[in-house]
Amino acid sequence: MIVLLFLTSVVMAKSSGLNNVPEEVLKAFSEKYKGAKIRNVKKQNDTEIIKFVINKRKDVAIFLSNGTWVKTETKLPWSWDLPSVVRKRFNNCEFKAWYIDEIEAVESPGKKIYSIQVSYDYGPIGSIPGDFLDVYKLYYDKRGKLIKTEHLRD
C-alpha cells in the first residue's frame, strides 16, 4: 500500500511538470506530507523549494537534492494562530501596538520558531503611506522566548 501511494505521488508529480525534481526529494516529500498537493517546485543551488497545499493551508518546504528535509515555512493568518505562550510574550513586548505584516511558523529538524514581522508608519496624518516606515522581524522559540530581533528598515 505504501509503495502504491509513493508510486502514485511520483507519477502525479511527473505528469504535472515536476520531472526535473529528484526522485529522492519526491519520495521524502510524499512520506513527510501525505496527501499534500504540490503547486510549484523551484531549484535553487542544491535545494528544492516546494510550494504545496495541505489541509487547505499553503506551505513551503525546502529539501536538499538528496531528499534531506531542511525546513518548512507556514504562514499563519492571525496572531491567535500562534501558540498562547508566544502570543502572550508578543502582547507584552514593545512592538505590541505595531501593525503585524506577517506571521510564520518555521519548522526544521529538532526545532520550531515563530517569526512576527511588524511595521510602524511614523508619517504625519495624510502623508504618503510607508514614507517613514520602520520594520522589525521578531523571532520566538516554541516556549515564547524572544531569540532574535532583526531591524529590516527605517
Quick: pLDDT tens for 53-71. Answer: 998 889 999 999 999 999 9
The parent domain of residue 109 ranges over 79-153
Report the distance separating Cα 110 and Cα 29, nearest Å.
18
**What would the pLDDT profile of 99-152 be if each residue is shown by its tens digit?**
999 999 999 999 999 999 999 877 676 666 656 688 999 999 999 999 999 999
Looking at the fold, whether 87 and 61 belong to one and the same domain comes out as no
- What SS3 class is residue 131? coil
Looking at the fold, whether 138 and 89 belong to one and the same domain comes out as yes
Report the distance separating Cα 69 and Cα 60, nearest Å.
12
Looking at the fold, whether 61 and 83 belong to one and the same domain comes out as no
What pTM was estimated for this model as a whole? 0.77
